[in-house]
Chains A and B, each alone.
Chain A
Amino acid sequence: MVLLHVTDLNVSFDTDDGVVRAVRGISFDVDRGKTLGIVGESGSGKSVSTQTLAGLTRGARVSGSAQFDGLDLIKASPSQRRSVLGRKIGMIFQDPLTSLHPAYRVGAQIIETIRAHDRSISKSKARERAIELLGMVGIPFPSERVDEFPHQFSGGMRQRVMIAMAMALDPTLLIADEPTTALDVTVQAQVLELMRKVQAEFGTAIILITHDLGVIADVADDVAVMYAGTIVERAPRDEIFYQPHHPYTEGLLDSMPGRVERGQPLRPVKGAPPSLIDLPPGCPFAPRCPYRFDRCDQEVPALQTVFGDEQHQSACFLPTDIEERKALREQLVEKGGIR
């Protein structure tokens, strides 16, 4: 069942250098209880798109719609949006230190979140709930730690506090923007495990934004790959990893160390992403694409169903037949376009 339905979302910023078109006409759905992974490199628009849903992109020009629980988040008034954010949509960010107020005890910050949405909850009740939440996210001795300050927590513990706060009002959607990027791998494993646990227990839908395909492989059900402000490919997780259609997805996977024999060179995507102020006229990936042909420079490809699978869509002119697409890849490998 669809919980969040985003259609044709555009976000642009006016700067001294020109208009930055950060998000260009993206559409996606998030199902109840599922995890949508949005993957892309810096500047691909993955964070801006979800920040816009939360009303955090001040000064941006925004169009499109985002239906959530009978409300269009894009057209909603600030007060309408506030009634949803925090209560039905929880958010966690990359840096848990700057997301927590350094001068307030963590307990007070969780209590504030709870009482901001429901004044009828007494302070002592809210405090009990805060302790319960801290225990749920695996903070040892929650009834003591509730009175400590953020600096007394380690990075992984702070991220747990953020998750506790985001889950305080039992939201149906959790937006996690690079939640483990600042953490070490062993702590990352703990936090991802916790997110899985929370999802299994409360049926929370999650939008997980990350640049790390390893994290996507671990927790996502569906994946959207973003490049230069657009979704270039969208599919269930295994299709993205084992049958990518778009050359950018393929290139990202090829760039990963561990996909080639040790001692062999890696297979990076050539060049660098385009400027979002001065985009190429055709496909934004064309200048870096090893499959590029004339049409790519003239027309912008739209998302279309590929490989006969309704759930798998790709914005690329390459053949949508799986055998033809695979043959092209093999030709390219043979020619040495991909080492």
Chain B
Amino acid sequence: MSSDEVLLSASGVSKRFTVGSRGLLGGRLQLSAVDNVSLEIKKGETLGLVGESGCGKSSLARCLTRLYDVDEGTITFDGRDITNLGRRQMQPLRSEMQMIFQDPYGSLNPRRRVGSIIGDALAIHGSRGKGTRRQQVQELMEIVGLNPEHYNRYPADFSGGQRQRIGIARALALKPKLIVCDEPVSALDVSIQAQVINLLQELQREFDLTYLFISHDLSVVQHISDRIAVMYLGRIVESGPVDEVFTASSHPYTRALLSAKPIADPRAAEQRDRIVLAGDLPSPISPPSGCRFHPRCPKAEQDCVTVVPTLEVFRGGGPDAQKVECLHPLEADQDLSSFTPSIADTIIGADAAATGSREVAS
């Protein structure tokens, strides 16, 4: 279970990428992938990070694990400021933060045997367990539900679900404190997906792991997370304990996102009010002014166009507070579909047209 001790915290983290060819004035375009994000991950908890493709979930995860250098802000891991650590200084910390990736085909080298894929980390960081490396790897394979006799097989000999287990064994090898799971079950069929989710939860209990769980599948995130953070266009727009956010979300975007979640229950699906957002995700190269969600927000008011909201405590307090980044958050009993935006329609039309055409980089 989670304690109140913070394992990883980020404060005001921003990450920009330079993209495209030189413009008219010779300057290159800046893509703001992560913008002023602050969050905390407590020891032993699962923080779910949700949002649509291109919203910056993976970029944020890479900033937090220092796979990317951040442009602004600070990152603290286990009480230590790691924001500006160099490659060599980071290396001992790498064993404490591991990643599991989405694509069980692309994330394993097809020309190497399973034993060496899992065992490489042990070789690089120096074995710390008992027994030979082979014994250690086979023990890991057993823990994640693979047959240890398959030590010498290649990734191609395994199914998608089994490959994801290999990825998990690799992440576990160095006994990390934090595992960043970036869409770990998105590529798997539903029956296999459930097996892998159960495995992740068992491992968390057994090894006292902390997860940052990134997914676009809201049902999965709801099931596995203690707290969730919702991202929109590089910013965290709402965060809080999973039950509060799922039952009483206060940001209009969260509300719309949750209402679009497919439910495998026809009667429940028919009963709910669905809020279909207009338009697409705007380009992070030229994000909208004020609140980044205002061009699509059913509840937008005039000040949303100019004032940039910050993430503020909305309900509760302490580490379990529900926070929202909205000038006019929704109360639990308010219905988003009853609102119409009170900003000039021309602005919305123009923004939708401008953003609808543009490619959104992820």
Chain A residues engaging chain B, CB cutoff 8 angstroms: 41-42, 139-141, 145, 148, 151-157, 184-190, 193, 211-218, 237-238, 241, 251-253, 255-260, 262, 265-270, 272
Contact A152 B256 (CB under 8 A): no
Contact A212 B262 (CB under 8 A): yes
- Nearest A residue (CB) for B216: A184
Chain A residues positioned under 8 Å from B276 (CB to CB)? 186, 189-190, 193
Contact A262 B191 (CB under 8 A): no
Contact A217 B262 (CB under 8 A): yes
Chain B residues engaging chain A, CB cutoff 8 angstroms: 52-53, 159-162, 189-195, 197-198, 201-202, 216, 218-220, 222-224, 242-243, 256-257, 259-267, 269, 274, 276-277, 280-281, 349, 352-353, 356-360
Chain B residues positioned under 8 Å from A152 (CB to CB)? 357-359
User: Bound state CA distance, A137 and B265, in angstroms?
Assistant: 27
Chain A residues positioned under 8 Å from B224 (CB to CB)? 257
Chain B residues positioned under 8 Å from A185 (CB to CB)? 52, 216, 218, 257, 260-262
Contact A140 B352 (CB under 8 A): yes
User: Bound state CA distance, A287 and B46, in angstroms?
Assistant: 34
Chain A residues positioned under 8 Å from B256 (CB to CB)? 186
Contact B190 A41 (CB under 8 A): yes
Chain A residues positioned under 8 Å from B189 (CB to CB)? 41-42, 211
Chain A residues positioned under 8 Å from B243 (CB to CB)? 262
- Residue of B52, B160, B197, B265 near A266 (CB, 8 A) is B197
Contact A186 B262 (CB under 8 A): no
Contact B262 A258 (CB under 8 A): no
12 more A-B residue pairs beyond the given contacts A186-B52, A190-B276, A270-B195, with a C-beta to C-beta distance below 8 A:
A41-B189, A41-B192, A42-B189, A184-B52, A186-B256, A216-B264, A218-B262, A241-B265, A257-B197, A260-B223, A265-B201, A272-B161
User: Bound state CA distance, A270 and B159, in angstroms?
Assistant: 14
Contact B53 A268 (CB under 8 A): no
The minimal Cβ–Cβ distance linking B37 to chain A, given in whole angstroms, is 20
User: Bound state CA distance, A186 and B280, in angstroms?
Assistant: 9
Contact B264 A256 (CB under 8 A): yes
User: Bound state CA distance, A215 and B162, in angstroms?
Assistant: 27
- Residue of A251, A258, A265 near B263 (CB, 8 A) is A258
User: Bound state CA distance, A241 and B357, in angstroms?
Assistant: 39
A241 touching B264 in the complex, CB below 8 Å, given contacts A141-B353, A257-B220: yes
Contact A140 B353 (CB under 8 A): yes
Contact B198 A268 (CB under 8 A): yes
Chain B residues positioned under 8 Å from A266 (CB to CB)? 194, 197-198, 223
- Nearest B residue (CB) for A238: B266
12 contacts between A and B (CB under 8 A): A145-B357, A154-B356, A157-B357, A188-B262, A216-B264, A217-B265, A238-B267, A255-B193, A262-B222, A266-B194, A268-B191, A268-B198
Chain A residues positioned under 8 Å from B198 (CB to CB)? 265-266, 268
Contact A255 B194 (CB under 8 A): yes
CB-based closest 3 A-B pairs = A214-B262, A268-B194, A257-B223
Contact B52 A41 (CB under 8 A): no
- Nearest B residue (CB) for A268: B194
Chain A residues positioned under 8 Å from B358 (CB to CB)? 152, 154
User: Bound state CA distance, A218 and B267, in angstroms?
Assistant: 9
Which among A185, A186, A260 has the greatest number of chain B C-beta atoms within 10 A? A186
Contact A214 B261 (CB under 8 A): yes
User: Bound state CA distance, A141 and B159, in angstroms?
Assistant: 46
